[in-house]
Structure 1
Amino acid sequence: MNFRDELKKRILIGDGAMGTLLYSNGIDNCYEELNISHPDRIETIHTAYLEVGADILQSNTYGANYYKLKRYGLEEDVSSINRKGIAIAKKAAKGKAFVCGTIGASRSIRKSDLELEEIKRSFREQLYSQLMENPDGLLFETYYDLEELETVLKIARNETDLPIIANVSLHEIGYLQNGIHLNEAFDRLQELGADAVGINCRLGPHHMIRSLEEVPLPERAYLSVYPNASLPDYVDGRLVYEAVPEYFGSSALKMREQGARIIGGCCGTTPKHIEAVKKALGNLPPIKEKQIKARKIEVIEITHNENTIALHEKAKTERTILVELDPPKKLGIEEFMAGAKALHNAGADSITLADNSLATPRISNAAIGTMLKKEIGTEPLIHITCRDRNLIGLQSHLMGLQTLGLNEILVVTGDPSKIGDFPGATSVYDLSSFDLICLVKQFNEGLSYSGQSLGQRTNFKIAAAFNPNVRYLHKAVERMEKKIACGAESFLTQPVYSVSQIEEVYEATKHLDTPVFIGIMPLTSSRNAEFIHNEVPGIKLPDNVRKAMAAAGNDPDRARAEGVSIARELVNAAIEKFKGIYLITPFLRYEMTAELTGYVRKVDNERFVEVTAYEQ
């Protein structure tokens, strides 16, 4: 049999899930390793699908790449696991079914987890291992990120002429997570040489059929569909798929009507589901023409800013002062609001509000920000961490901020929960700071993470964090550049404590057009100085600073005055090099940062007078 010839003539039936059956039998570790340790179990499942009518068996190698196997200490066994996976499937097929080497996606929702170069290296190792066993074709499945699928497809097509099935996965009906419609995705994949293009995983038959209704028959490829059995339920800590095989079989008829030439199953499907597909389709021929449902194109409204200049734009041409004032840990905001007013009156352009700094719960910065905007008239800068919210919560939070008109945001990773008041709490980190910046940028284009229209474009101004307190400053600058590529428009630094460090940061970042706000946090006591120096990762205070604070002894007024004096020296150095100043208020001691804010304004005014007098 020739795979491409058979695909031209008839509908080929794929197999169903491997992991579902293994999981139901109590196996909950590395499924791919079973190719080596228990090949008989894998062969039995392949045989079960063959006996109910599957024309295509996919090897048990979905996650058999370097990075996924490394989780189990099996990274040195990539070749043997992949080769054995193909061999087992071929043994089970007995020449009665085609065997496709399966390669799954490496990227998950955290796109930044793996760079493309890492993916390429891992993919090549897996691909070459499988090609050594001469499969009948290749199946690439569960690719949410089209960039990754295009990348590996190019590599595979350059290395082999074997038939390739390229399946993407969707969060929403008809759209990939970056907003690309299936039509465009399929066109791009067939241009790169895929023999079949399709959808697998995440969605059940109903939503996959709806997705295909807007897709024409490809000109140079065929359609492939591998739905989940249904939407999953969560019962006693396990995902359960409850769709009955008969429904899955009747759905196969509708998939055929949409032009599917390969029909199989993904999560939750069993040999009974594939048997139902075989029975429903019988010997029906594939369709060669179909009616396309008109795609509804939603117009995305553009929301407009209020008459305020974005902080990052202002900082390109004139002095801009941001002052951080943490929301209270306890209910009652009278003192906080008094501090915010003092800072605003002193000349702060924006009050920045941390998001549960040091993993300690505080009053919601969105609530506080709304009050500041309403009662004081300042434009707050809202911090958003990746720690506290999963992807659902982050998207909801962003939509809430847009609705409240809080558009200046700072994206940060967030301190791990173990350092805070609740060390047993979970640090979520569904997204990295890079991913979250990309998500916010996508929001500004009117698209949610899943690719669904938001109905409006958001107008977030995206600031990001920059830590200069590292051994290799050029590495930190490289991270900055990556964040700029993701969409960052300005940077706030961690606090610095030496003039020489400010000069180093300037030299390292002066090639960037993106404004940098130098972070300065006044010290409050010698104890505070020693804590920062000895216990805060990455920050070391100069000896002269520690000695000056120690000389203040236990006199709080003297210590405060010394802390402000040291901060003034840093301010003087910063305003020579940077338009942006970021003052960090320690322990709600807003009188210190208010004084420093006033000092910056005074210095600028004096310089303005001097320049004006000189010009006259």
Structure 2
Amino acid sequence: MDLRQALQQRVLVADGAMGTLLYGNYGISSAFENLNLTHPDTILRVHQSYIDAGADVIQTNTYAANRLKLTRYDLQKQVTAINQAAVKIAEQARAQADHPVYILGTIGGLAGDTDQTVLQATPAEIAASLTEQLTALLATGKLDGILLETYYELPELLAALKIVRTKTDLPVITNVSMLAPGVLRDGTAFGAALRQLAAAGATVVGANCRLGPYYLAQSFENLAIPANVKLAVYPNSGLPGTDQDGHVVYDGEPSYFEDYAERFRQLGLNLIGGCCGTTPLHTAALVRGLASRSIVGRTGKIAPAQPKPLAQTLGRHAFLQKVATQKTALVELDPPKDFETAKFFKGAQRLKAAGVDGLTLSDNSLATVRIANATIAAELKLGYGITPIVHLTTRDHNLIGLQSEIMGLHSLGIEDILAVTGDPAKLGDFPGATSVGDVRSVELIKLIKQFNSGIGPTGKSLKQATDFRVAGAFNPNAYRTNVSTKSIERKISYGCDYIITQPVFDLANVTALADALTANDIHIPVFVGVMPLVSKRNAEFLHHEVHGIRLPKTVLARMAQAEIDGNERAVGIQIAKELIDGICTRFNGVHIVTPFNRFKTVIELVNYVQAKNLIPTK
């Protein structure tokens, strides 16, 4: 009988992990899928071990055997060979089995992968990569079904399922992965996700990875799924740990799986296997733990869907409301490097009195250690009534720390964030420090905006929706007349609300940026950066040593002459005012960077920007 018939008649036991087994038992940490070509006997032994343990269903060693993931090992030209070798090995294992065995061609999800090739891939490239792998697997003619597993993003899985359904009528098992029981990380209820997958053509729907038996069983309890929909579960052996050498290890007892096998059956599961940390011993435990192979029926009653909370509007983001119709000035300050903060806060008070619309606070700019900007922001907001815009870098915070920072900012009532990568760590006080970079700045934007729906990083309710408005950075200095807006468009697609640019010193770049935004029909508030020069040496440093900033020869010459004439400050201010004049002909937003705590200089420029609102329009 084929796989569909088997799923109708009895509960099937699937195999367990491949990658963690190769890593833990064989010490292999390279491209596991390439072993199909270099060490086929090793993969064959793994399959045979699972079959000997009683597995009815095995999956090919092809989880990451796609072009995008294989590129990191320079194996992108081996996609077809690796996938077809995997099917051949699985077929060899089945031929030696003493009971019927079904083979699933495995295709893994991409969301959450930190490799740059994957992160930068377009939807079209992802679709092409999946299609190439799928075509290679199907060409063997030996598969009983396709397994799409470890998908954290429901849209990605639905897109993958759509492609598979255009290529084959074979059974398709679709497994989502959850960070918390009962909910995907975008807040979609587990049951709702499974219903969508079933409606889209999946033969079996379920979950795998991340969670162990306890939480996955909890997720399937009282699940409102039509009775005719088949369910699958592939739990991890438990939570991972590390050994003395820092290697990831799983130590979940196989007997624990034996205890849960019958519970999964009673919950109406049709396909029960294992994921990370599981071994043939866990598979054997599942077989022992099943009191019967008969399928337990379900009622299939569907609860009404609950609407997601909507993101809030601009709310208290006054400067974003103002910039739509008036010239608006933001000022960037670097938090103090030491505990002598009186001058800093006095200067901030002077800026407020001058009518500045908001203060942006850098996050250890140039990788130089300063007081945490969230702490300074809280003091400015709570102690002085000043609107802070906090820079948040992906350089200094891992994914856990970023989310904690976001929650902390909301708790302090701080609602404006500039998401940036941050200057490389090697530039600063501690060149040996590492840059984290768990996510890119665009993904940080998406992460922050998710909190606005009241959904946390695991998909669980936060009991309260945030009201963040997120800025994206842009450097127009790399261009003259042809500005690429692709990075801005991508940031907008991830939820960016406005743009803050690097300081500009050439009005040609301002014009080019404005023209490019108009040509591409991009309408988003833009605050163009202005940094007043304080000396010839300052100008030369910025031009020669700061990445992404170049000064026109005319500006360098003017500052050189100013040094001779002894009026460097005045010339620097005049150049800044000329830039503001040019910016304000095309943009309403100006972002003034404070040089060396020169508050007097910046206040003069803030007044200059605001005076433009008093000039009658013609």
Instruction: Give the structure-1-normalised TM-score.
Output: 0.94
Q: 1:292 and 1:431 mapped to 2: Cα distance? A: 40
Shift of 1:80: 0.5
Q: Which one of 531, 535, 546 corresponds to residue 525 of structure 1? A: 535
Moved more, 291-300 or 527-536: 291-300
Aligned residue identity for 1:270: T
CA distance in 2 between counterparts of 1:400 and 1:183 reads 31
The structure 1 residue matched to 2:280, chosen from 271, 277, 283, is 271
Deviations 1:276-323 (A, max 9, x none): 1111115431101259898997996998998x4532221001121101
* Cα distance in 2 between the residues matched to 1:473 and 1:44: 61
Matched, 1:516 2:526: yes
Report deviation, 1:8: 0.3
Asked whether the 8 Å contact 1:351–1:379 carries over to 2, the reply is: yes
Q: Deviations over 1:43-73 (max 9, x none)?
A: 0110011011100010111111112111112
Is residue 181 of structure 1 aligned with residue 181 of structure 2?
no
The answer for the alignment partner of 2:48 in structure 1 is 47
CA contact (8 A) 1:325 1:590 kept: no
The aligned runs of 1:361-372 (5 Å cut-off) are: 361-372=369-380
Query: Residue 496 of structure 1 is aligned with which of 493, 504, 519?
Result: 504
C-alpha distance in 2 between matches for 1:79 and 1:301: 45
Summarize the alignment of residues 302-451 of structure 1 with structure 2, pairs less than 5 Å apart. Answer: 308-451=316-459
Secondary structure in 2 matching 1:210: helix
- Farther-moved stretch of structure 1 (287-296 vs 273-282): 287-296
Residues 66 and 130, structure 2, Cα contact 8 Å, conserved in 1: yes
Which residue in the other structure is 2:461 paired with?
Answer: 453
Whole-angstrom distance in 2 between the partners of 1:159 and 1:588:
63
Q: Secondary structure at the match of 1:71?
A: helix
Matched, 1:101 2:105: yes
Secondary structure, counterpart of 2:549 in structure 1: coil
Contact 2:329 2:610 survives alignment (8 Å): no
- Name the residue aligned to 1:559: 568
8 A Cα contact 1:467 1:476, kept in partner: no
Q: Which amino acid aligns with 1:105?
A: G
| Offset from partner CA, 1:385-430 (integer Å, 9 cap, x none) | 1111112111111111111111122111212212222222221222
In structure 2, the partner of 1:18 is 18
Report the aligned-residue RMSD: 2.3
Q: State the one-letter code of the partner of 1:452.
A: K
**C-alpha distance in 1, partners of 2:191/2:163?**
22
* Post-superposition CA distance 1:340-368 (Å, at most 9, x none): 12222222111110111112221111111
Q: Give how far 1:499 is off.
A: 2.2
Unaligned 5+ runs, structure 2: none
Moved more, 21-30 or 153-162: 21-30
Letter in 2 for 1:73: D
Give the TM-score, by structure 2 length.
Answer: 0.94
Instruction: Give the stretch that moved more between structures: 230-239 or 246-255.
Output: 230-239
1:298 and 1:455 in contact (8 A); partners too: no
| Whole-angstrom CA distance in 1 between matches of 2:389 and 2:539 | 27
One-letter amino acid of the structure 1 residue matched with residue 44 of structure 2: E
Structure 1 range deviating more: 412-421 or 395-404: 412-421
Check the 8 A contact 2:227/2:299 in 1, yes or no: no
Q: Distance in 2 between matches of 1:386 and 1:292?
A: 44
- How far apart are 1:581 and its partner, in Å? 1.0
Superposed, which structure 2 residues align to 1:196-211 within 5 Å?
196-211=204-219
Q: Describe the shift of the 1:271–1:119 C-alpha distance in structure 2 as closer, same or farther (beyond 3 A).
A: same
Q: 1:296 to 1:254 in 2, by over 3 A?
A: farther
Contact 2:476 2:502 in 1 (8 A): yes
Look up the match of 2:140.
133
Determine which of 576, 584, 595 is the counterpart of 2:604. Answer: 595
What secondary structure sits across from 2:137 in the alignment? helix
Of 157-166 and 531-540, the range deviating more from structure 2? 531-540
Structure 2: how far apart are the matches of 1:37 and 1:376?
66
Give the whole-Å Cα distance in 2 for the aligned partners of 1:302 and 1:456: 11
Please say if residues 13 and 263 of structure 1, whose CA atoms lie closer than 8 Å, have aligned partners that are also in contact.
Answer: yes
What SS does structure 2 have at the residue aligned with 1:389? coil
How far apart, in 2, do the equivalents of 1:601 and 1:192 lie?
Answer: 56
Equivalent residue letter for 1:483:
K
Q: Secondary structure at the match of 1:457?
A: coil
CA distance in 2: counterparts of 1:34 and 1:591, whole angstroms: 66
Tell me what 1:31 maps to.
Answer: 32
User: In the TM superposition, what is the alpha-carbon distance from 1:228 to its structure 2 partner?
Assistant: 0.4
- SS of residue matched to 2:194: helix
1:121 partner amino acid: A
| Match of residue 535, structure 1, among 545, 551, 560 | 545
Superimposed CA distance per residue, residues 594-615 of structure 1 (whole angstroms, 9 cap, x where no aligned partner): 121122233433x14xx6xx9x
Report the identity percentage: 44
Report SS of the residue matched to 1:260. Answer: coil
Q: 1:285 to 1:533 in 2, by over 3 A?
A: same
Q: Distance in 1 between matches of 2:328 and 2:183?
A: 41
- CA deviation profile, 1:132-178 (whole Å, cap 9, x unmatched): 11211111111111111111111111101111111110001111111
Structure 1 segments unaligned to the other structure (5+ residues)? none
Taking the aligned partners of 1:30 and 1:501, their CA distance within structure 2 comes to: 45
Q: Report the CA distance between 1:503 and its aligned residue.
A: 2.0
229, 232, 250: which is aligned to 1:224? 232
SS at match of 2:73: coil
Q: What is the aligned length?
A: 607
1:97-154 deviations in whole A, cap 9, x for unaligned?
A: 0111111112216695432111111111111111111211111111111111111111
AA aligned opposite 2:329: I
- The alpha-carbon deviation at position 512 of structure 1 amounts to 2.9
Local SS of the residue matching 2:460: coil
